[in-house]
Chains A and B, each alone.
Chain A
Amino acid sequence: MKKKLTFAAALLAASVIGGMANAKQLVYCSEASPAGFDPSPWSGGNDFDASSRTIYSRLVEFDHGKTTISPGLAESWTVSDDGLEYTFKLRPGVKFQTTDYFTPTRDLNADDVIFSFERQWKKENPWYSYLEGTGWEYFTGMGFPDLLKEIVKVDDLTVKFVLNKPEVAFLPDLGMDFASIVSKEYADQLDKAGTRQQFTQKPIGTGPFQFVDYQVDAVIRYAAWDGYYGGRQKIDDLIFAITTDPAVRAQKLKAGECDIMSYPAPADIAGLQADTNLKVDEQEGLNIGYLAYNTTVPPFDKVEVRKALNMAVNKKAIIDAVYQGAGQPAVNPIPPTMWSYNKDIKDDPYDPEAAKKMLADAGVKDLSMKIWAMPVSRPYNPNAQRVAEMIQADYAAVGVKAEIVSYEWTEYRERGKQKDRDGAFQLGWTGDNGDPDNFLFLLGCDAIGQSNYAIWCNKEFEDLLKKGKATTDVAERTKIYEEAQVVFKREAPWLTIAHSKVFMPMNKKVSGYVMDPLGIHRFDGVDVTE
């Protein structure tokens, strides 16, 4: 039996390798090496691209290019009236991938679902600490340990999640990468063999592609999974060519060494657009770049001062110079593409004269402050130093003297959280699950000391946030969040700087690639014309 399996595995490997010459192949120039192929322990976008979005599937899936969800491994579900019980009916006949290192003997069932969550949740689960120092940060960060009461197997194809409190974003949360479903049978096999580490090195999932090979820091190879429940992919081989430097990625794309690339440098975009072999897709990013005042420290504890400083800044000039036109001035803390965005809110006008007067009226004279500049480039803010310099010049025009400070990236964020932080702090956010709460929670009272860099706790806003989380009706939630945005704009804890555009350059022979608002790179449904 063992010999037969080895032979079959060899045959599979040979067909994968040997078939490569005629196979339809898509090469993606990715920006970084994945830490591993288990979709749950890590939190980097590049980790998810290489694992959860290629190899795995989830109970619910985000629709291509949207933030709405559709059935995934669960073909249907019901929610109890009190919002505490979610019962999922699993899709029958879903196959886990067959590779040279694992041959499943059964289809996906409720045990796999329960295992996928309990290994991140219950410390007594032997897989909780199979990787040294794993904190399951996403599972923890999304509040799942407090949210989940129990997960019950109703029958082989029915599983019930019981929650401690209603959570409106629970379904979108289950579409997130950390909630990918892994194989319990494979885990048991590795347990027996004493090779648990292999779980993250040689992954098994139910997704559109199966893992073939990983040459550390160089190349990841996948092959289309014939048994994928969503149908076999049009491309046979998917290859990630790991290329950390964006300028080199652009050169590779131009030279035809890859078909599609992530995160082009703003300076390269015009050159890529001009190349007749290439096309550059673009999309409004689901993000926000902002400057958070420390609302607990005078004079920034006064709304008039914050408003005046907002009015002193010429955002359009920043968008033109730093975002090189690839962005739009931000009005609200959530991007315009998100549901519940309040279109009626008007931005604070750019009016230095009025700003000067407002500062004088507020009794602020000879104000000196700090502007914090992130040391890294992010899609929501490609050059924080330059943004800081432009704000500094705008402030100078209204008589405010500003000094720019910056620190190493982790140190920067830690210092920014300090309650007595001196000055206004640049940062931003990219959405996880398309829910407005996933942006507005940044300003919640509970987020002080974590993600609330304005150190702003407003009762009216907080009540709306809590009400929104406990409301299931979307129309009603929309109203609540629209109102929360009014409170935000009135109180001005942030200078909302910009929502940026995201670009995806690719060869013209690539078709069917849909840009994802959540910043995920997925290749299911993509085709290549030879």
Chain B
Amino acid sequence: MLRYLLHKLALIVPTVFGISLAAFAFVRLLPGDPILALAGERGVSPERYAQLIEQFGYNRPYVIQYLEYIGRVLTGDFGISIATKRPVLGEFQALFPATLELATIALIIAVLLGIPAGIFAAIKRGSWFDQATMGVALTGYSMPIFWWGLLLIIFFSGYLGWTPVSGRIGLQYFFKPTTGFMLIDSLISGKSGAFRSAASHLILPAIVLATIPLAVIARQTRSAMLEVLGEDYVRTARAKGLAPRRVIGLHAFRNALIPVVTTIGLQVGTLMAGAILTETIFSWPGIGKWMIDAIGKRDYVVVQSGLLIIALIVMAVNLIVDVLYAVINPRIRVQ
């Protein structure tokens, strides 16, 4: 098991460097630069521009800039935002709990609805339930997040008035964050109605963010279940007279779990990407919105460091998923 873990860890090192290089290059490939973006429509004189480029060191060869950057990152210094002048890591730490909370609830929704939907669709293959579930899943998968979010806001917040339009909690609740997770902080605050307010603010963005992963998980569970249900050992289990619930729950589902767990692990990346749009629509103060703002301002430091930190987190989650495989399926450890 340890060897397996070390092998996985060894793969992460070149990946991190690759991503840091890609992030560094990506932001510089975008047209425009941070000096011009900062100057705005007022513009900046060529002399002043030259001065500022010199000051930030963006006139030096890219190789030098990258090596310096990576050197600082290795010491835990992710740099200072060009736009806000605040440390990138500090901004990330302040905003990440909001994204994590949203993504976790979205993932819970996706898993809790997606897996049972997939299982039932597989069991009732070809039935109207199967057709309807997969139809809805395909629609969910193809739905543009921005449009979907706005549609839900207009219907549930505007027309029905059931949920708040945006934000994380009602403005009447004001307390210093303890954990950064609003659901937990609202409980700790002891203010009556705070938790309810936080939950009602979370529900729409979580549904929007859960839509694509839910569709993917449901479809993946269905296909994995169908494959397993056709296996000999399932037929044998049935022939032995085991109860259908036991056959599906114990024999089929356990074996269908591996691709499903893989899919769930991969959804972390999807959730991060989806968070960018979801957070923008719902004014959710997380890292997705933060990255979008940084790209708009050509804030090289935030974009390259932010991408790297997000990638590190996604890789860490994938590593955990890999370890989980090994726990679920001992054959993987041996291989």
Residues of A near B165 (CB, < 8 A) are: 248, 251-252, 255, 257
19 A-B pairs besides A27-B171, A43-B42, A255-B157 with CB distance below 8 A are A21-B172, A32-B293, A133-B85, A141-B39, A197-B86, A201-B86, A216-B91, A217-B95, A218-B167, A245-B280, A245-B281, A248-B150, A252-B166, A255-B164, A410-B36, A413-B36, A427-B41, A449-B45, A449-B46
Determine the distance from Cα of A33 to Cα of B38 in the docked complex, in whole angstroms.
14
Chain B 273-284 interface 0/1 with A at a Cβ cutoff of 8 Å (1 = within): 000000011110
Name the prevailing secondary structure of the A interface residues. Answer: mixed
Q: Which 10 A-B pairs have the closest CB atoms?
A: A410-B32, A217-B285, A218-B285, A411-B31, A410-B36, A131-B85, A408-B31, A243-B283, A252-B165, A251-B165
CA distance A427 to B290 in the complex (A): 28
Q: Compute how far the CA of A213 lies from the CA of B177 in the bound complex, rounded to whole angstroms.
A: 11
Cβ contact of A450, chosen from B43, B280, B281, cutoff 8 A: B43
B56 CB–A CB distance under 8 Å:
yes
Please judge, given known A-B contacts A241-B167, A255-B161, whether A410 and B283 are in contact too, CB under 8 Å.
no
Min CB gap A443→B, angstroms: 14
Measured in the bound complex, the distance between the Cα atoms of B283 and A41 in whole Å is: 25
Q: Which of A106-159 contact B (CB under 8 A)?
A: 131-135, 137-138, 140-141
Q: How many residue pairs bridge A and B at CB < 8 Å?
A: 144
A11 at the B interface (CB under 8 A) = no
Interface residues of B in 36-68 (CB under 8 A from A): 36-46, 48, 51-52, 55-56
A257 nearest in chain B by CB position: B165
* Cβ contacts under 8 Å, B174 to chain A: 17, 20, 213, 221
B 149-191 to A, binary, CB cutoff 8 A, 1 in contact else 0: 0100110011001001111100110111100000000000000
Bin chain A's interface residue count: 35 or more
Contact of A414 among B36, B40, B84 (CB under 8 A): B36
Category for how many chain B residues contact A: 35 or more
Contact B171 A239 (CB under 8 A): yes
Are A133 and B31 in contact, with the CB atoms below 8 A? no
Interface string of A191-232 (1 = CB under 8 A from B): 000000100110000000000010111110100000000000
Q: A140 to B40: give the CA distance in the assembly, Å.
A: 14
A137-B32 CB under 8 A given contacts A27-B171, A215-B177? no
CA distance A221 to B176 in the complex (A): 12
Q: Are A132 and B171 in contact (CB under 8 A)?
A: no
Residues of A within 8 A of B286 (CB): 217
In-complex Cβ contact of A411 among B32, B45, B164 (8 A): B32
Indicate if A44 sits at the interface (CB-CB under 8 A).
Answer: yes
Chain B residues, Cβ within 8 Å of A36: 84-86
B contact residues around A170 at 8 Å (CB): none
A-binding residues in B (CB < 8 A):
30-33, 36-46, 48, 51-52, 55-56, 80, 82-86, 91, 94-95, 150, 153-154, 157-158, 161, 164-168, 171-172, 174-177, 280-283, 285-286, 289-290, 293, 298
Contact yes or no, A43 B39, CB < 8 A: yes
Q: What chain A residues lie within 8 Å of B167 (beta carbons)?
A: 218-219, 241, 243, 257
In the complex, which residues of chain A have a beta carbon less than 8 angstroms from the beta carbon of B166? 243, 248, 251-252, 257
Q: Is A247 an interface residue (CB 8 A)?
A: yes
Jot down 7 A-B pairs with beta carbons below 8 A, ordered by A: A132-B85, A133-B56, A213-B174, A219-B171, A248-B166, A251-B153, A407-B31
**A41 proximity list for chain B (CB < 8 A):** 85
Select from chain A the residue with minimum beta-carbon distance to B161. Answer: A255
> Of all chain A residues, which has the CB nearest B279?
A217
- CB neighbours of A140 from chain B (8 A): 48
Given A36-B85, A44-B40, A20 contacting B55 (CB threshold 8 A): no
B56 contacts across to A, CB distance below 8 A: 133
Task: Give the distance to chain B from A523, nearest Cβ to Cβ, in Å.
Answer: 15
**What's the minimum C-beta distance from B198 to chain A, rounded to whole angstroms?**
13
Q: Which residues of A contact B298 (CB under 8 A)?
A: 410
A189 contacts partner chain B, Cβ-Cβ < 8 Å: no
Interface hub of A21, A32, A140, A427 (most chain B Cβ within 10 A): A140
Q: Give Cα A245–Cα B298 distance, bound, in whole angstroms.
A: 20
CB distance from A437 to the nearest CB of B (A): 15
Contact between chains at A244 and B289 (CB < 8 Å): yes
A291 at the interface (CB under 8 A from B): no
A409: interface (CB < 8 Å): yes
